[in-house]
Structure 1
């Protein structure tokens, strides 16, 4: 089966306008595993738990996770339907172009493509930077004679060097051990199961400072942010949105899967469901052993989980050992994010949409991967990481802007499919959810038709539009230059680069994916019997 579907997948890719350049070496389960690791729920929820602590404590953790999980299930279901028709490494960028009418497809795909690229890069940066911060705070479970953590007085440059080391490691592994990535991801699944089980059993059994009541866990709302209660809860949703937002990044792996139109949609849905239940299994025990919320909110590194585990175990060495599985999972998550980002960058560059595209679209013959595109992502991430020298809350900028960009990019093809095509193209695929698909689209976009349907692509409201101001807000009121959330700066920076490059080059030269040239010659594209290829007829 492994080899029999490869020619079909490659020929379908050619029908979509591209020649296969990457090795198709992933099974359905391996793609599901990658989708799970991209979110890395135990790790992702650990490194961003400060948002939930500030936003309202236990209620924000538990109910916020359930709410965002259901929303993201609808978002990813919508993406799965479209990916079944247009399975390319360009992901949502290609899908937006293929579905849009000729008169607006260049602009819509440009916006979506740059949003998707920026989201991939900044989420990867956030993961690696969070691992550095989490490692520093994990070291602080060891106290000196005065009761101060051994890494408490680390300078910014020391944390930054740790971030550099982690970034180099997470890029080196997918660059030079690409054939072993599926094994690493499979290992990470079992590592997560064993490691997290050990954490949860230990903290619940030992519970040195006692356990909270069920009533407190499910009803206690103690916002620490200084914002009004409702807005404080909303800001806390970044805790859940950060991890789950990466689920759609797996679409960039379509050209390394044997049956992408079938396997990738299943992986997207399967990964979200797996993460949703894994998240609850992780958060509930943590909530039952939470120490004082106001104390957790004051932790300078904004990484409360090491303190929570130390409080529950009462032993520094034991607490650190329990944190090791999360640190390893953080490294694995970074490796998966780097892999997906490099494919996204490569796919966008091969259509000439990035300055210097001729260099970034090359596939290294020796390693069989887009090595130059991977290097570009690493350089950009390190440059953006320098924000940490000017802001102690730099991680807010990286995580917040990553969620914003990915949410915007996911909304683009769904909005076009729903409002400009009436979901006609989705019916040609093998993952049409029918009436349920309409419901998922509405939840994803939460849009009411405007005076002209084309406005929906850029003016989607509800979850998609809420993410923009919400995740640019500082976590706490009383903002200073040091505690400001620089997500808006990074967001505007990417928008300016995109706009300037479009004005200088794209307006006259950018024609989008090869689909347009094929349509110019053949009038349209046809689906094969397995719906591995799609066309734009709306």
Structure 2
């Protein structure tokens, strides 16, 4: 994503620029390498960096929406809020809306990151839920303001979607400012935020990889789970995260459809994990033994929150594996469902052959310690 945005920024300022797939690949690798630096040699400064990014995050919102409020042509409220466009060729607008919603579900998964850092947090059972809540509330409000502003300022949808810059939001910014310099500043803010998100995602992915390897749940767990002397971070897991991400970026050189399928696989897997855990939690609350005492509890309201979340996640998971447009061809087919079951098959084989003999889940580990 970041590579494509940077390409769009170059196309905005250099008329002769012709985007190539390998440009996006190299730019993506550069951003990941930048994130690796902040997760290794600058890891001790990561809290300070994240605090600085928070300030830029809030200030950047106003730096983007104020020019749009002041300078952009705005559509009327009825067309903007009540008229739906079915560009995917689906038989009904409702079905098109449900499938289209899956495109923005990815904005909700970032809150999951702090959970995977919980082993490095004091009083995690209380602190992490608070962090999730207080990161969601302001960001949801900011997203609402930005989202409403954007759709009011989007203008002609077809021209924006077919922009020469490759990124519709860049075209919206330019239509508002009519200035390369102004648009560049606004796009740079987005790039900085995306790069900052990449830093946090590398930290999260490496901790998740390390903790799963520590529990003997992955091939090569013995090597992955070791923390190098002199480092207070899982350096090997960080390096593996960089290598895997770089290799995935190379897929774009052969087939953008394959890269999209792999990207969709991540969303499908996350939604399935939410569906699985919520289903188990709702079943336990309704039919199982009482949940153990915990510092953070919503009491009697917890079941309603869990059911509401399950009601939302279930259709999103179902429609996430649908193609976005019809008629369906090998090029626009959503192959994530095939990859998902392929990964499940590989995981099942690994579990039956080795992991079931050595894997100790975190719940059992905690019980043994207690």
Verify same fold: TM over 0.5: yes
8 A contact 2:251–2:259 mirrored in 1 = no
1:133 matched residue in structure 2: 4
- Aligned pair 1:216/2:99, yes or no? no
Structure 1 stretches of at least 4 aligned residues deviating more than 6 Å after TM superposition: none
Deviation at 1:242, TM superposition (A): 0.3
Contact kept, 8 Å, 1:238 with 1:471, in 2: the verdict is yes
Contact persistence 1:174–1:339 (CA under 8 A): yes
1:202, distance to aligned residue in structure 2 (A): 0.8
1:34-62: per-residue Cα shift (whole Å, max 9, x none)?
xxxxxxxxxxxxxxxxxxxxxxxxxxxxx
Q: Call closer, same or farther: CA 1:324–1:405 in 2, change over 3 Å.
A: same
Q: 2:45 aligns with which of 152, 175, 180?
A: 180
Find out whether 1:191 has 2:62 as its counterpart: no
Shift of 1:349: 0.6
CA apart distance, 1:277: 0.6
SS in 1 for 2:295: coil
- RMSD over aligned CA atoms reads 2.4
Q: Is 2:187 the counterpart of 1:323?
A: yes
- 1:172 shift after superposition: 2.2
Pick one of 488, 495, 503 that aligns with 2:337. 488
Task: State the partner residue of 1:9.
Answer: none
**Deviates most, 501-510 or 481-490:** 481-490
Aligned residue number for residue 273 of structure 1: 137
Q: Is the 8 A contact 2:281 2:306 kept in 1?
A: no
Q: 1:189 to 1:395 in 2, by over 3 A?
A: farther
For 2:28, the equivalent position in structure 1 comes to 163
Give the corresponding residue for 1:57. none
- 1:379 CA displacement: 2.0
**In the alignment, which residue of structure 1 is the partner of 2:236?**
372
Q: The residue matched to 2:323 in structure 1 has which SS?
A: coil
| Conserved? CA contact 1:178–1:367, under 8 Å | no
Q: Which moved more, 1:219-228 or 1:465-474?
A: 465-474
- For residues 334 and 261 of structure 2, the distance between their equivalents in structure 1, rounded to whole angstroms, comes to 6
Residue 395 of structure 1 and its aligned partner are, at CA, apart by 5.8
Write the distance in 2 (CA, Å) between the matches of 1:480 and 1:353.
Answer: 37
Pairwise CA distance, 1:439? 0.6
Of Structure 1 and Structure 2, which has the larger fraction of its residues in helix? Answer: 2
2:170 is aligned, of 298, 302, 306, to 306
- Cα separation, 1, equivalents of 2:232 and 2:321: 38
Q: Closer, same or farther in 2 for the Cα pair 1:278/1:426, shift >3 Å?
A: farther
SS of residue in 1 equivalent to 2:39: helix
Matches within 5 A, 1:386-465: 386-393=250-257, 396-420=260-284, 422=286, 426=291, 428-446=293-311, 463-465=312-314
**CA-CA distance at 1:305 after TM superposition:** 0.7
Cα displacement (A) at 1:270? 1.6
d(CA) in 1 for partners of 2:54, 2:170: 22
| Of 143, 146, 155, the match for 1:282 | 146
Report if the CA contact (8 A) 2:90-2:96 is conserved: yes
The 1-side partners of 2:226 and 2:357 are apart by 23
Q: Which has the higher contact order (CA 8 A, sep 6+)?
A: 1
Q: Which runs of 5+ in 2 are unaligned?
A: none
After superposition, the Cα gap between the structure-2 partners of 1:365 and 1:231, relative to the gap in structure 1 and judged at 3 Å, is farther
The residue that corresponds to 1:203 in the other structure is 68
State how far apart, in whole Å, the 2-side matches of 1:486 and 1:386 are.
18
Residue 379 and residue 143 in structure 1: after superposition, are their counterparts in 2 closer, same or farther (change >3 A)? Answer: closer
Q: How does 1:448-527 map to 2 (within 5 A)?
A: 463-513=312-362, 515=364, 518-519=367-368, 525=370
1:169-213 CA distance string (max 9 Å, x none): 112211221111111111111112222211111122112xx2112
Task: Give TM-score scaled by structure 1 length.
Answer: 0.64
Q: Secondary structure at the match of 1:175?
A: coil
Preserved CA contact (<8 Å) 1:252 1:344? yes
2:214 maps to what in 1? 350
Whether the 8 Å CA contact 1:206–1:313 is kept in 2: the answer is yes
Helix, strand or coil for the counterpart of 1:198?
A: helix
Report the Cα distance in structure 2 between the residues aligned to 1:313 and 1:492, rounded to whole angstroms: 47
The offset of 1:435, in angstroms, is: 2.5
- Do the aligned partners of residues 393 and 231 (structure 1) sit closer, same or farther apart at CA in structure 2, a change above 3 Å counting? farther
Cα distance between partner residues in 1 of 2:366 and 2:178: 65
Question: Is the Cα–Cα contact under 8 Å of residues 306 and 319 in structure 1 kept in the other structure?
Answer: yes
In structure 2, relative to structure 1, the CA distance for the partners of 1:425 and 1:248 (3 Å cut) is: farther
Relative to the length of structure 2, the TM-score reads 0.91
Is this contact kept in 2: 1:246–1:406, CA < 8 A?
no
Listed one character per residue, the Cα deviations across residues 391-423 of structure 1 (whole Å, up to 9, x for unaligned) are 335564344322221122233333323313547
Distance 1:509 1:491 in 2: 24
Give the CA deviation at 1:347: 0.7
